């Protein structure tokens, strides 16, 4: 191969051949991004000899449902892509949602996935969620029109490069004050995907509700206890309260 190689698109500057020994054509990807998930195929041709291998790259992360401030079922496919990106996430794949369902995700609102299908995960069958007679699993609406149909989104967020923390303050803050408080501490107000990743991957547990960048109010619980919500671990949500109400704030640095 000599010294010739070329990378394209978002891979430019992030990929290289390892070349740790003669004939080593292993591909190294630096600074992994959420959309790097997928199948990679390597084919090596040496004269009349050729060999190929396929590798599936899966990032460790968390799937979370996301809906609009104005209520459920307000995103077309492209808007769903954008809102996930806005929260430091990407639309989840079917495989990622299936894994989340196996790990206990139960959500009765349908959401877009990366392949343009609309699905939702049910672990406890019940009326209004496909019915009690269906087995647990992913309920699917199949492919929907990416512009005309509107649903929620299932987002996927992977490891956090920085730190998410609850900012200790003497008083509660409205949304504007919360943004300013994080900035004064050299941080940014945390995004939803960052909070979910910190909860799932870093074990963040704090029983105080705080503002996030999308103006929602949430708090992460890994060890359920009295006065901290339901008996299961999770990120508790207060939805999108009026911006003048006062809560704590989660910052990201």
Could you tell me the end-to-end alpha-carbon distance of the chain, in angstroms, rounded to an integer? 42
Q: Cα–Cα distance between 137 and 101 in angstroms, integer?
A: 7
pLDDT at 42: 76
Over the stretch 122-138, which tens digit does the pLDDT of each residue have?
Answer: 999 999 999 999 999 99
Phi/psi of residue 3, nearest 5 degrees: -105, 15
pLDDT at 23: 60
Mention every residue, 6+ apart, whose C-beta is less than 8 A from residue 182: 167, 188, 189, 190, 249, 251, 252
Structure-block tokens of residue 108: 């009765």
pTM: 0.79
Statement: residue 60 has pLDDT above 90: no
Structure-block tokens of residue 28: 């190294």
pLDDT at 40: 74
Cα dist. 33→45, 116, 247 in Å?
29, 21, 32
Q: Cα–Cα distance between 218 and 239 in angstroms, integer?
A: 8
Q: Cα–Cα distance between 19 and 189 in angstroms, integer?
A: 42
What homologous superfamily does CATH list for 160-252?
Mannose-Binding Protein A, subunit A (3.10.100.10)
Statement: residue 240 has pLDDT above 80: yes
Structure-block tokens of residue 180: 């300013």
Q: Cα–Cα distance between 17 and 5 in angstroms, integer?
A: 9
Cα dist. 91→138, 153, 249 in Å?
16, 7, 26
pLDDT at 197: 97
pLDDT at 58: 57
Over the stretch 135-186, which tens digit does the pLDDT of each residue have?
Answer: 999 999 999 999 999 999 999 999 778 999 999 999 999 999 999 999 999 9
User: Any idea where the domains of the chain sit in the sequence?
Assistant: 9-57, 61-157, 160-252
Q: Cα–Cα distance between 215 and 200 in angstroms, integer?
A: 21
**Please, which pLDDT band fits residue 17 given cuts at 50, 70 and 90?**
confident
Q: Where are the alpha helices (DSSP H) in the chain?
A: 77-86, 94-102, 175-184, 192-202
Note whether 61-157 and 160-252 share their fold.
yes
**Please, which pLDDT band fits residue 16 given cuts at 50, 70 and 90?**
confident
Statement: residue 109 has pLDDT above 90: yes
Structure-block tokens of residue 82: 């954008």
Q: Which fold has domain 61-157?
A: Mannose-Binding Protein A; Chain A (3.10.100)
pLDDT at 161: 84
Over the stretch 23-40, which tens digit does the pLDDT of each residue have?
Answer: 666 777 655 554 566 677
Q: For 200-214, what is the mean pLDDT?
A: 98
Q: Which percentage of the chain shows pLDDT scores above 90?
A: 75
pLDDT at 136: 98
Mention every residue, 6+ apart, whose C-beta is less than 8 A from residue 10: 33, 35
């Amino acid at each position: 191969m000599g010294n010739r190689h070329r990378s394209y698109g978002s891979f430019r500057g992030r990929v290289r051949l390892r070349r740790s020994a003669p004939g080593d054509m292993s591909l190294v990807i630096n600074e992994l991004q959420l959309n790097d998930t997928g199948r990679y195929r390597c084919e090596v041709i040496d004269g009349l000899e050729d060999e190929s291998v396929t590798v599936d790259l899966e990032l460790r992360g968390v799937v979370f449902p996301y809906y609009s401030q104005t209520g459920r079922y307000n995103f077309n496919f492209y808007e769903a892509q954008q809102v996930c990106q806005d929260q430091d996430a990407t639309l989840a794949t079917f495989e990622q949602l299936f894994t989340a369902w196996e790990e206990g995700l139960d959500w009765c609102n349908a959401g877009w996935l990366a392949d343009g299908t609309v699905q939702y995960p049910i672990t406890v069958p019940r009326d209004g969620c496909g019915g009690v007679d269906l087995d647990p699993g992913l309920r699917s609406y199949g492919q929907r029109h990416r512009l005309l149909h509107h649903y929620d989104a299932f987002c996927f967020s992977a490891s956090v490069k920085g730190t998410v923390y609850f900012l200790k303050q003497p008083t509660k803050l409205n949304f504007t004050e919360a943004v300013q408080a994080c900035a004064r501490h050299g941080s940014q107000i945390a995004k939803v995907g960052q909070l979910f990743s910190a909860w799932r991957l870093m074990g963040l547990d704090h029983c105080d509700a705080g503002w996030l960048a999308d103006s929602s109010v949430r708090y992460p619980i890994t060890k359920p206890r009295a006065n901290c919500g339901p008996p299961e671990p999770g990120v508790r949500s207060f939805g999108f309260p009026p911006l003048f109400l006062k809560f704590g704030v989660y910052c990201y640095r």
